[in-house]
Amino acid sequence: MEASSFAGAKQERRGFGELQGRILGVLWAAGRPLTAAEVLTELGDDVVYTTVAKVLDRLQLQDVVRRAKVGRAYTFEPLVQESAFVADRVRGLLDRSRDREAVLQGFVDGLEPGDSAILAAMLDRLNASASPSTGS
């Protein structure tokens, strides 16, 4: 295989955790337990059943989803809220970074205008609660 075609093939692979995130997104949106086949149907792309089932099993081992036997199949439902899961992932990425300030700057640079206002208000509340109260 030529080096250029090999490099192109590697670029088509999903990013780390991308499929896991998409599968969790399907489960969060469903609001009810789903089988691997139902998740696969909702994903609607080139993912194969065995890959979806393997990711769901790994999520179950990590206590991110609950697996329950229903008839001959297993259903899966999330055990964590989407916001808590995503926040934990972001903190993990930040903790693994060698330059926290640069990562935070990159995050802030990519915010939509409405997001930056929300973040500023959250930081204001955090700073207000952290500062010592002044007596009257």
The structural domains of the chain, with segments of one domain joined by +, span: 3-78, 82-130
Task: Please tell me the distance from the alpha carbon of residue 63 to that of residue 46, in angstroms, as a whole number.
Answer: 27
Q: Residues 14, 17, 21, 23: what is their CA dihedral angle, to the nearest 10 degrees?
A: 70
C-alpha torsion angle, residues 29, 18, 86, 75 (rounded to 10): 40
Would you state the pLDDT for residue 86? 87
Fold entry, domain 3-78: Arc Repressor Mutant, subunit A (1.10.10)
User: Quick one: which H or E segment has residue 35?
Assistant: strand 34-35
pLDDT of residue 50: 95
* pLDDT score at 17: 81
Per-10-residue mean pLDDT, the chain, length 136: 41 66 96 96 90 96 96 96 90 92 91 89 89 62
Structural tokens at position 96: 């693994």
- Beta carbons within 8 Å of 64's beta carbon, 6+ residues apart: 24, 78, 79, 80, 85
Comparing C-alpha atoms, which of 110, 55, 64 is closest to residue 89? Answer: 64
DSSP 47: -
